[in-house]
Amino acid sequence: MAETSAALLFRLNDPSDSVAWQRLVDLYSPLISSWLSRHGLSATDAEDLSQEVLAIVIREGPRFRHNGRVGAFRTWLRTIALNCLRQYWRSRRVRPESAGLPDIALLLDQLEDPSSDLNRRWDREHDEFVLHRLLELLKPEFEATTWQAFRRQVIDGAPARAVAAELSMTVNAVLIAKSRVLSRLRHNAEGLVD
């Protein structure tokens, strides 16, 4: 990902930019499928509905405008996913409750309520997933030692001095490696993770 995610969102204004759209699909498809499968859908139905959500995002994406508020994109995405999930359950002849699932209407209401625990969980899971996925996409852009220095400090919590000794680097080089990766991550997460 050679650009910031804010730039990626801007590029979505151009429906013919297939590279930007593919990046968005690659980034979000697993998250949406996983989330839907936890709300009463089979893996196959979750995958189908995930594709429907992404088709709507692609169709409506050029009209999306990030308003600068925290969580604008993930809230927009969640709204689309909720509406698709709501429509899915309306189109079924079997009520989810009769299949041993929780009251879907109550679940959907909780997800729409910004102060609900379920809504906050969606936001947290979204941000964690996107950050992990962005890290996966960024990893090939860095030398192995740069990545190891970053990972040991940020993910493993090792002190810079210990990482420097492990990797035969100076403490300054270890801190610079951490800074470089974090800087790229912040740019790539801008607009998607708030």
Q: Give the tens place of pLDDT for each residue, 126-136.
A: 888 888 888 88
Length of the chain: 194
Taking the C-alpha atoms of residue 52 and residue 180, their distance in angstroms, rounded to an integer, is 37
Residue 94 pLDDT: 52
The domains of the chain, with CATH numbers, are 5-139 (1.10.1740.10), 142-194 (1.10.10)
Q: Mapping DSSP to helix (H, G, I), strand (E, B) and coil, where does residue 12 land?
A: coil
104-112 and 72-91 are packed helices; what angle lies between their axes, rounded to 10 degrees?
160
Taking the C-alpha atoms of residue 82 and residue 190, their distance in angstroms, rounded to an integer, is 24
Say what the pTM is: 0.69
Pair 96, 155: CB distance under 8 Å: no
The DSSP H or E segment spanning 104 is helix 104-112
Percent residues over pLDDT 90 in the chain: 27
Residue 50's pLDDT band (cuts 50, 70, 90): very high
Candidate ranges 34-38, 127-131, 175-179, 189-193; pick with highest mean pLDDT: 175-179
